[in-house]
Chain A
């Protein structure tokens, strides 16, 4: 199957700082990528849809100015958590569908801890 990577796999930061998370499709091109957030013992919640070359589409309740998404190439989308606070601590996962199938491939996730 297709491979999606994320970097970093975990990050610890101080409150008020910004953190950038990268999502890469390693062996296929992805015009669309999805960003999810998963709190402990909770479901994956879609945050936004990242579109290559255009603005991301955010889900209701997700602050677009706080969670900046950039999809500058067909293999890379970035999520920047700006002015992070402890309540932003979560597991952030990206996914991307391949053009040849409807299956979404998930990255390994990034665990963010904001102190």
Chain B
């Protein structure tokens, strides 16, 4: 079993819809959970960063972590064509420069105008 599983998509939704992106993981030591957005041929950009379980909201984005189920989600409200990108979940046990961040494969998202 891979440490982090993420459906690669592509996921196509109409503009204005709510998007739900998810990852599952196997390592119970993970405590820090991140979502990155990556546009084609660009480096990843950090969107959301959550510690342990719970929800975190930032504008149209909401990150949820359920450590008991080893399941994390990213919700995008009022989706826009500019949200079209690949979204990578990532996680680590510690959050210091000595610890590795493990990435999911990324989900390609297309927002249809």
Contacts and interface: CB of A to CB of B under 8 A. Distances in A.
A24 interface: no
Contacts of B97: 31-32, 97
A46 B97 CA distance: 13
B42 to A, nearest CB: 6
A44 B88 contact: yes
B104 A108 contact: no
A42 B107 CA distance: 10
- Using C-beta atoms within 8 Å of the partner chain, give the interface range for chain B: 20 to 34
Interface stretch (A11-19, A72-80, A99-107): A99-107
B54 interface: no
Given A43-B106, A97-B97, A103 B49 contact: yes
8 contacts: A41-B106, A44-B88, A45-B103, A46-B100, A97-B96, A106-B43, A106-B45, A109-B41
